[in-house]
């Protein structure tokens, strides 16, 4: 164990650099995933039925196919076509599209639970669709989707571990390199798991605090009844 701890200390700059890359990728995909999810959610409510259907098929495709396939397709499949992207660019694009699709579905689920009479009333008063979406639909859908959206952020952190398969130097990639050097695979992966657990615990604590802050009045009371 002492030798393993010494290895971790020796490789600490490398580990910290990988951890920084992991947190950076998670933060970027969480922000762009929310923005993309809102955009897809908006298009899924468009008055043009072809646009609605196209958006729904887009969402279903990226939810129904593995993220790793998309990453491999861009990183290994595009270069023969003359398109070369860095591992970071591929990770950001691939994760953003995937997370956007899931977030759009969460928002749509929340929208289906809204009271539609307020939307009809806004239309009767002459509000345009974008105004209705921005002032009525989106604020409520976001509020109701907070548990799902925060859980997605947690999933984002865990999903970053597959980025090392496209040569992105994230935290797991660095731990994998250490394991292949000292052959302490069990200890190295346990240590990596504990780090992920600690990070997830921090996100969960922040997420639960946010959920309580934005919860609809009386909702928690009803949930305990």
Q: What is the pLDDT of residue 114?
A: 87
CA distances from 62 to 24, 39, 186 (A): 23, 15, 34
Give this prediction's pTM: 0.87
Domain that holds residue 210: 2-224
| Per-residue pLDDT band at 215 (split at 50, 70, 90) | low
Q: According to the model, what pLDDT value does residue 216 have?
A: 59
Rounded Cα distance between 185 and 124, Å, is: 65
Average pLDDT, integer, range 146-153 = 92
Give the pLDDT confidence score for residue 119 in this predicted structure. 87
What span, in angstroms and rounded, lies between the C-alpha atoms of 80 and 137?
Answer: 44
* CATH number where 111 lies: 1.10.3720.10
183 pLDDT band, cuts 50/70/90, is confident
Are 167 and 131 in contact, with CB atoms under 8 Å apart?
no
Number of domains in the chain: 1
Note the pLDDT of residue 220. Answer: 47
- pLDDT at site 21: 95
Q: What is the pLDDT of residue 115?
A: 84
The pLDDT of residue 87: 94
How many angstroms from the chain centroid is the CA of residue 63?
Answer: 12
CB atoms within 10 A of CB 148: 15
pLDDT at 217 over 80: no
Residue 72, Cβ density class (10 Å: 0-12 exposed, 13-18 middle, ≥19 buried): middle
Burial group, residue 140, by CB count within 10 angstroms (0-12, 13-18, 19+):
middle
The rounded distance, in Å, linking the Cα atoms of 40 and 167 is 30
The pLDDT score that the predictor gives to residue 113 is 87
């Amino acid at each position: 164990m002492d030798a393993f701890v010494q290895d971790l200390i020796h490789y600490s700059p490398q580990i910290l650099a990988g951890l920084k890359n992991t947190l950076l990728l998670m933060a970027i995909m969480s922000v762009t995933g929310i923005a993309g999810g809102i955009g897809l959610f908006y298009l899924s409510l468009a008055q043009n039925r072809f646009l609605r259907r196209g958006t729904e098929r887009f969402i279903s495709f990226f939810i129904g196919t593995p993220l790793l396939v998309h990453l491999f397709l861009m990183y290994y499949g595009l270069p023969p076509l003359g398109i070369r992207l860095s591992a970071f660019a591929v990770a950001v694009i691939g994760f953003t599209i995937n997370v956007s699709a899931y977030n759009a579905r969460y928002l749509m689920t929340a929208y289906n639970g809204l009271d539609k009479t307020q939307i009809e009333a806004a239309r009767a008063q002459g509000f345009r669709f974008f105004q209705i979406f921005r002032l009525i639909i989106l604020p409520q859908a976001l509020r109701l989707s907070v548990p799902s959206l925060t859980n997605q952020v947690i999933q984002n952190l865990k999903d970053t571990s597959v980025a090392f398969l496209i040569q992105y130097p994230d935290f797991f990639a660095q731990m994998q390199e250490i394991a292949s050097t000292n052959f302490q695979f069990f200890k190295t992966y346990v240590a990596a798991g504990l780090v992920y657990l600690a990070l997830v615990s921090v996100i969960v604590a922040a997420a639960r605090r946010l959920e309580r802050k934005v919860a609809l009045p009386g909702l928690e009371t009803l949930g305990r009844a």
